[in-house]
Structure formats: structure tokens, C-alpha cells
A and B are shown apart, each in its own frame.
Chain A
């Protein structure tokens, strides 16, 4: 029988905030940063609007190379303003803060100067000149990336892994595939641009797309659509109709008595539809409730799974998982969270991918329970991330993270990768990244579904997202050899750096909105007509279109009702990313480089 639902504070565990790598974060840290940022940005914008800077930089940003047109937002000033504010609030002592500020600013200066210099030389030699829009967008991307990589260097991070297993299998084909997809996406988006469709003009005029042409805004959606179709084809063609070897399900459990019977019942239903044996190991990790008894009673009542409880007396999810791997004697292993209820077909659908001998990891699509205030937004988030982007990344062998809520592994690959890492966030991403770099394939199959917990309170959401968003830094630091080694893979040289860049972008989204509003309403530059529409497009338009498309591609029309909530949720998520990077500890270790 189910026990009462967990209280709000029960989500906190030893894995929530690894003590060595994080610091307790006041809820006032991010608001302080935003106030500081607004003040610094106002001063810098005012400065560049006064003589002599105004005549040196007539479009309001520090751009030295020639350019075409007027710009929408001075992102170089934005990046510097953000860096000043972040450095003032980051969890380092005064010398550390100064060092962080100087490093980010100087690196940014050097990269922008190099970019401008290249543009000046290109202009002199060939007459090549960018639109100022492109200069600003690229300047923003430079800033996002430099911020994240400096944080990676100066924040307290896990040490490099002692080994970085790598095999060239699939990697050259992966580079070629992404190159071909990019070329095709450019051709299609530019072809649509040439059609001059009335609909496109309408969209442009209402500024949903920020006033940009379809040649620009269609490129990424078309690229991901091509990859999504390719990924779906690869996934369907690569699996067998039936493949049902014995499999072990490992479930780390810390005080999960209230939900575990339901989880085991769902597993039993899935095992009933699966032809192979399904072993289940509940890894009791220092529970103080009746988790072991609840599991034992459930096993006695269920007829299709062979289960036992393994006591893991050392706290930490990775300890439990590694104990589970040590106790596994089947060639494939599924890890699920104790609050994950898998669909009755999940095991059957997932294991058939492993008929291919190079398959290493398979993931699925999380579904929200549907009873919490964040569930509708979460459904769209997972449809976009796991139901769409993950499939697309799979097309070019570029999936990095398969979430531990439900992940199926080739057991030998887990052992070759060195087991699950502890003391940091993102042990699931770490595992799939390493298995992928070892030359195994990874697939995200959205037909494999499972219901997974969604936080029901703001405090739980904050804890979860800060943990998740820190993980990209922890995983990158531990696996830095894939970033800065001379081994080449799309995963290590494009996707992982892009994830770092994107983390910087998300952390700066709320300040960027403030910056856009400030710039627009204070009227620092009357020659700039598209500032607010551009910000609206970045924050609302493009993500809304992509999420809607992902929902439709997965046949979940009803999920579209959550679109307004999803847009707001994205802003909340961005704010929590900012808090997440602020929670990274400084000064606790020597250089990470």
C-alpha cells in the first residue's frame, strides 16, 4: 500500500549540491546581480551615447570593423556589463572576483578584436562586410562561450577523469553528416527566402521573428528537422522487431517507500510484455523510512520481475548505481529513478535497439504526471528536448546526455567507462558522453515513454534545476580531454562546446531582457527600430515555434495548450540557470586547466 506523498523537503539529498563544488546561495544573490547589472549597463550605454564615443561608435556599440546597416542591440556592452555584475556577486574572495572579471573581459576583448581585425583585413582585400546584425549576434555568442569557459577554468570543478576512452568509430561519418545537413538546411532556408511568401512578410511585420528574413530564422528549424527525420530513420532501421535478452533494472532509492511500490508495479507490467527475464535490484541507499520493506513486499506480490534489495550503506547515488552495476550479471542494464513509472512497452521497445552490436545507450521520452503546476510546461520542454532535439542529435552521433530517469546501457560499456562518477552533478550525462566517445551508438527514442517526477514547489524546482544546470560544467571539467584533446568528434568539439555556450546564453537571458527593455525605453539610440521586437523574438517567438513543432512531430497536439506556460517557464529556467552558475564555488581548488 502506498504511503503518503513525500513532504516538500524530501527532495534534498547528498547529491543536491556537492559540498566541494558548490556554495550555499542566498535567494538575494541573483536579484543583487540584476540590480548591479542594470546600473552598470545604464552607465555604459550613457557613456557610449555621449561625445566623443558617440561619433566614434555611431551605432552605440564598440565595433571597430566596417559594417552594414543599423544594429538591434549592443551586445558587446551587454557582455561587459554582465561580466562586471557577475564578478561582483560570484562566490569568490575579492582577488578571485577581480581575476574572473579581468579574464573574461580580456579574453572577450581579444576575441572581438581578432574578429574585427579579420573583418577589416577582409574588407580591405575583398570588400567583404557583415551586416551589423551578424556582428552583434556573433559578439553575443563569443561572450556566452567565453563566460562559460572562464567559469570552467576558475570555478571549483571536478578533476579531470584519469582516462578519456576514445574510439574513432562513427566519428568521421558524424562530421560529414552534420556538414551535409548544414549545407542542405542553408539551401532550403535560402530557397524559401527567395519565394517571398506573403506569410513570411506578415510574420516579419508583427515582429514574431524579430524582423529577420526567413533565410536567417528558418535555418536552425530546417537543420533540426532534417536531422530529426534522419535520426528517426536511423532509429527505426537500426532496431530489430524482437530482441529480448535478460536485463537488470537498477533503482537507487533513498527514502522512497511512498512511491517505490508504484514504480515496481509499472516495471512488472512492462516485464509482462517482455519476453526476456527482468531482474530488479532496489539499491537501498541509507533510507530512514521503510524503503527496503516496501520493496520486499512489492516483489512478493509481483509475478513478472525477479527482484531483491541491495543495501548500499555509503550515501550518494553513484555509490548505489555502482553497487548495482557490480551486482548485475546480465549483458544489459536499465537504470531508473525510484519515482519513474515506465510505460508497459518501454523495456520491449528499448532493448530491441541493442540488436545492433555497437549500440551503447538508449533513452526515451519523460512524461509529466500531469498533476503539478509545472507539468504542462515540463511536457513541452521534454517533447522539445527528448522528443525532438535528442532524436536529431542521434542522427549525427552527437547525443551527449541520456537522463538517468530512464537509461538502458550495455553493461560492459558502463564498466569500460569506469562506472558512475560521484561527488558532482550529472553522473548520467557523464556516463553517456563517455560511452559515446568510446565508439558506441546512442539513441533517443521518443516511443519509449515513462512518467517521471516533476517538482511541485518552487523550492524543489530551484534545487532540481540548479543541480541540472551545474552539470554541464561538472561534466565538461571531468571530461575536458574530449574538449581540449586532439581527438575529433562532433560530440566533443561541437556539441559539448555548444552546450557550454548555451549555458552562458541561458544565464544571461534575464539580464538580456532587462537590457533590451532599458535600451528600448530609455532611448539611448533612436536609430535602432527593432530592439524590442528582436528581444521578443529571441525570448518568445523562436522557442514557441520550435516547441509547437516538436509537439506536433510527436503527435501530441494537446500539449500545445501549455505553450504560454512553457514560455514563462523558459524565463524561470533562465533565471535558475543564473542562480546555478552563481552557486558554483570558487577558491577551493587549484587550477582546473
Chain B
């Protein structure tokens, strides 16, 4: 079995991006996740979720 090329994305790209995004305020932990509204009912800039 060979080392998968896509591991580059999920090991060396996404985690540093996620960490940096959190620290830079481009991502965060929303304590009231359950209160998020559907996209159609509440357009941006609030958190957007889908009907799916």
C-alpha cells in the first residue's frame, strides 16, 4: 500500500488552515449551535445551514 497523495490536503493543508482560521477569527466555536437557523430563513452574515 502506498502513502495516499490526498493525505497532503488533510494532513498538511487543512489542519494548519483550521488552526490559523480560528486564531485569526475566520472560524470559531459557536456555543449555541442548536439555535442556528436555516439559510432561507436567515441570510448571511449569520451562520448559514442548508435544508438538506
Residues of A within 8 A of B (CB): 55-59, 64, 66-70, 107, 111, 114-115, 123-124, 126-134, 137-138, 141-142, 145-146, 149, 182, 186, 189-190, 193, 213, 215-216, 219, 483-486, 493-494, 497-498, 501, 527
**In the complex, what distance in Å separates the CA atom of A131 from the CA atom of B5?**
26
The answer to whether A134 touches B44, judged by C-beta atoms less than 8 angstroms apart, is no
How far in angstroms is the closest Cβ of chain A from B7? 8
User: Quick one: given A115-B14, A484-B5, are A128 and B48 in contact (CB under 8 Å)?
Assistant: no
Complex A-B: 28 CB contacts under 8 Å: A56-B50, A58-B44, A64-B52, A67-B48, A68-B28, A69-B44, A69-B45, A107-B6, A111-B9, A127-B32, A128-B27, A128-B29, A129-B27, A129-B29, A129-B47, A130-B21, A134-B21, A134-B27, A142-B9, A145-B9, A149-B5, A149-B6, A186-B19, A190-B24, A213-B24, A216-B26, A486-B2, A493-B12
- Residues of chain A lying within 8 A (CB to CB) of residue B44: 58-59, 69-70, 132, 527
Contact of B12 among A57, A142, A186, A494 (CB under 8 A): A494
Contact of B48 among A66, A137, A485 (CB under 8 A): A66
- Residues of chain B lying within 8 A (CB to CB) of residue A186: 19-20, 23
Q: Which of B3, B5, B9, B43 has the most CB of A within 10 A?
A: B5
- Residues of chain A lying within 8 A (CB to CB) of residue B20: 186, 215-216, 219
How far in angstroms is the closest Cβ of chain B from A519? 16
Q: A68-B47, A132-B44, A141-B13 are in contact. List 10 more A-B contacts (CB 8 A).
A: A55-B39, A56-B39, A64-B52, A123-B30, A130-B26, A134-B21, A216-B26, A486-B3, A527-B43, A527-B44
The answer to whether A123 touches B33, judged by C-beta atoms less than 8 angstroms apart, is yes
Query: For the side of the interface on B, what is the size category?
Result: 35 or more
The answer to whether B45 touches A127, judged by C-beta atoms less than 8 angstroms apart, is no
- Residues of chain B lying within 8 A (CB to CB) of residue A114: 10
Contact of B43 among A58, A133, A193, A497 (CB under 8 A): A58
- Residues of chain B lying within 8 A (CB to CB) of residue A215: 20, 23-26
Residues of B within 8 A of A (CB): 2-6, 8-10, 12-14, 16-21, 23-33, 36, 39-40, 43-52
The answer to whether B8 touches A494, judged by C-beta atoms less than 8 angstroms apart, is yes
**In the complex, what distance in Å separates the CA atom of A56 from the CA atom of B51?**
7
Residue of A nearest to B4 (CB): A484
- Residues of chain B lying within 8 A (CB to CB) of residue A128: 27-30
**In the complex, what distance in Å separates the CA atom of A64 from the CA atom of B18?**
17
The answer to whether B27 touches A130, judged by C-beta atoms less than 8 angstroms apart, is yes
Contact of A484 among B3, B28, B52 (CB under 8 A): B3
- Residues of chain A lying within 8 A (CB to CB) of residue B33: 123-124, 126-127, 129
The answer to whether A213 touches B50, judged by C-beta atoms less than 8 angstroms apart, is no
**In the complex, what distance in Å separates the CA atom of A493 from the CA atom of B11?**
10
The answer to whether A55 touches B40, judged by C-beta atoms less than 8 angstroms apart, is yes
The answer to whether B12 touches A134, judged by C-beta atoms less than 8 angstroms apart, is no
The answer to whether B26 touches A133, judged by C-beta atoms less than 8 angstroms apart, is yes
Contact of A131 among B2, B6, B9, B27 (CB under 8 A): B27
- Residues of chain A lying within 8 A (CB to CB) of residue B49: 66
- Residues of chain A lying within 8 A (CB to CB) of residue B32: 127
**In the complex, what distance in Å separates the CA atom of A134 from the CA atom of B24?**
11
The answer to whether B40 touches A67, judged by C-beta atoms less than 8 angstroms apart, is no
How far in angstroms is the closest Cβ of chain B from A470? 19
- Residues of chain B lying within 8 A (CB to CB) of residue A190: 23-24
- Residues of chain B lying within 8 A (CB to CB) of residue A66: 36, 47-49
**In the complex, what distance in Å separates the CA atom of A134 from the CA atom of B32?**
21
The answer to whether A145 touches B27, judged by C-beta atoms less than 8 angstroms apart, is no
**In the complex, what distance in Å separates the CA atom of A141 from the CA atom of B6?**
12
**In the complex, what distance in Å separates the CA atom of A142 from the CA atom of B43?**
27
Residue of A nearest to B16 (CB): A182
- Residues of chain A lying within 8 A (CB to CB) of residue B30: 123, 127-129
The answer to whether B9 touches A141, judged by C-beta atoms less than 8 angstroms apart, is yes
The answer to whether B12 touches A68, judged by C-beta atoms less than 8 angstroms apart, is no
- Residues of chain A lying within 8 A (CB to CB) of residue B9: 111, 141-142, 145
- Residues of chain B lying within 8 A (CB to CB) of residue A129: 27-30, 33, 47
How far in angstroms is the closest Cβ of chain B from A289? 45
How far in angstroms is the closest Cβ of chain B from A219? 6
How far in angstroms is the closest Cβ of chain A from B18? 8
**In the complex, what distance in Å separates the CA atom of A190 from the CA atom of B24?**
6
The answer to whether A145 touches B25, judged by C-beta atoms less than 8 angstroms apart, is no
User: Quick one: given A69-B45, A215-B24, are A138 and B3 in contact (CB under 8 Å)?
Assistant: no
- Residues of chain A lying within 8 A (CB to CB) of residue B8: 145, 493-494, 497-498, 501
User: Quick one: given A68-B45, A111-B6, A484-B3, are A216 and B39 in contact (CB under 8 Å)?
Assistant: no
- Residues of chain A lying within 8 A (CB to CB) of residue B48: 58-59, 66-68, 132
- Residues of chain B lying within 8 A (CB to CB) of residue A133: 26
Residue of B nearest to A124 (CB): B33
How far in angstroms is the closest Cβ of chain B from A63? 8
Contact of B47 among A57, A67, A146, A149 (CB under 8 A): A67
